[in-house]
Structure 1
């Protein structure tokens, strides 16, 4: 299986998973705190306006769609990287919503 990465051809599934994990970690490091803060503020505002937890989650959370496979039945590496990063961002948003609803301080961890 050959999959194009921006720098090299990746043949090893373990190397692909490592590349996916590194990309997701870099994306969380770059955008996680801002996403947490923005989601926390919106969730707290909605909760103070008497929105239910379900309404808040429906409004602020969106599950990422898995990447569509191409001819070989496997999605391109870049799409899998972006999907993994977005899954991490969903976890950040969910934590922010839980913290806001339970009146915990806004602390991105």
Structure 2
């Protein structure tokens, strides 16, 4: 039963991470646009910065921030449902999300027009 609760919790928290990451990523792009008055040429130079690392940084930093925020939320969630292994479960959820993020972002490097 604990494994089933953990799997369902992982799916729910993964969905929350995805939604929060997309929102944070959009917020980051909007803030960059407003602060630096970005146009097409500025976006191109920003994304070509150091062979595409500008885009890569803009996409990975919000993901890391999302993971930092999700740890206390997962602790709260497992405390709320009175799960037996709260800390271990929270750490393992963050580790699973980190590993999937590393896999996804390493695949992103292949699609960048300028190789990192």
Measured against the shorter chain, the TM-score band is 0.3 to 0.5
RCO (CA 8 Å, sep 6+): is it higher in 1 or 2? 1
TM-score normalised to structure 1 length: 0.41
The structure with the largest helix share of the pair is: 2
TM-score normalised to structure 2 length: 0.39
